[in-house]
């Protein structure tokens, strides 16, 4: 029973570390499973003992503080292996800035404010701000695509089709144009980014924002659903910027 519980707790910690993208090394000790974790200039050691007891070692740092929060959440039985934890979202703006040095500051600011709202249980505010951050990312994607169109006349026509449109209509026009262009990526992962990661999160954020911004009835928002989708938001923005980078380095023939 002890070993099974130790494995369960170990897998919870491991899943968390992988979601953060932190560097870590796994080691076996006589009575514990050990993880040596590095993030920036900070280092910590986490040991999981046979009864599932967790020990966090290391100098005071944001890394150690986060690992202690993880330890407490596991001890309170509040976490499943793949679950996004409320305190994880606090690191999302910093993670985006580290992974995407050119990220638009508007996206980072709106995401940061959305996180503050979620922590304060202001679900309407969180939903609206997350939708605003998403919309900014989509307009940047559409603009990057427009600038990449090689033929000036076709570029002008595309810009006219998306100009002064709601973001949802502009996005559909972009998808139609990109889907039929002669310059689609040879890397299937980029097309998959658009068809799964970008499309699904954009639609979720748009619908939630519209419910808040144009209410007919009081929106019925679930904090768990918002938290889960915010957990995907970093991947969503990263997928947007991978395509933006592709358009920045590729002539689009339509």
Look at the alpha carbons of 188, 97, 83, 127 in this order and tell me if their dihedral is positive or negative: negative
DSSP string, 123-169: HHHHHHHHHHHHHHHHHHHHHHHHHHBSSHHHHHHHHHHHTT--HHH
When pLDDT is cut at 50, 70 and 90, the band that residue 227 belongs to is: confident
Partners of 44 in beta bridges:
37
Residue 217 is classified by DSSP as: S
Residues 6+ apart with CB under 8 A from 29: 47
Is the predicted pLDDT of residue 66 greater than 50, yes or no?
Answer: yes
11-26 residue pLDDT tens = 889 988 887 778 999 9
Position with higher pLDDT, 219 vs 192: 192
Residue 157 to residues 57, 83, 91, 163, 207: CA-CA distances in angstroms?
60, 45, 41, 10, 28
Pairing of strands 23-28, 42-49: unpaired
**Residue range 150-156: average pLDDT?**
95
Is the predicted pLDDT of residue 81 greater than 60, yes or no?
Answer: no
For all residues of the chain together, what is the average pLDDT? 87
Domains of the chain, residue spans:
2-83, 90-248
100-132 residue pLDDT tens = 999 999 999 999 999 999 888 888 889 889 999
25-56 residue pLDDT tens = 999 988 899 999 998 889 999 999 987 899 99
Q: 2-83: what CATH class?
A: alpha beta
Instruction: Indicate the length of the chain as a whole number.
Output: 254
pLDDT of res. 1: 43
Asked if 110 and 230 touch (Cβ cutoff 8 Å), the reply is no
Is the predicted pLDDT of residue 185 greater than 60, yes or no?
Answer: yes
**Residue range 151-168: average pLDDT?**
93
């Amino acid at each position: 029973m002890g070993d099974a519980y130790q494995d369960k707790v170990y897998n919870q910690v491991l899943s968390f570390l992988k979601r953060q993208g932190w560097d870590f090394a796994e080691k076996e000790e006589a009575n514990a499973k050990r993880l040596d974790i590095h993030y920036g200039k900070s280092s910590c050691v986490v040991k999981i003992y046979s009864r599932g007891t967790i020990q966090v070692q290391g100098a005071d740092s944001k890394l150690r503080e986060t690992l202690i929060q993880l330890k407490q959440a596991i001890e309170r039985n509040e976490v499943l292996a793949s679950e996004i934890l409320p305190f994880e979202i606090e690191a999302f703006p910093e993670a985006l800035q580290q992974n995407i040095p050119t990220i638009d500051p508007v996206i980072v600011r709106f995401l940061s404010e959305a996180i503050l709202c979620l922590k304060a249980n202001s679900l309407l505010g969180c939903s609206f701000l997350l939708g605003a951050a998403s919309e900014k990312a989509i307009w940047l994607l559409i603009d990057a695509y427009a600038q990449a169109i090689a033929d000036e006349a076709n570029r002008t026509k595309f810009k006219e089709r998306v100009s002064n449109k709601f973001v949802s209509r502009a996005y559909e026009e972009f998808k139609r144009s990109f889907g039929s262009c002669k310059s689609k990526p040879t890397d299937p992962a980029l097309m998959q980014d658009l068809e799964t990661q970008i499309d699904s999160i954009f639609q979720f954020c748009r619908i939630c924002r519209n419910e808040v911004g144009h209410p007919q009835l009081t929106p019925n928002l679930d904090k768990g659903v918002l938290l889960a989708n915010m957990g995907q938001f970093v991947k969503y923005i990263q997928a947007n910027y991978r395509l933006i980078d592709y358009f920045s380095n590729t002539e689009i023939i339509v």
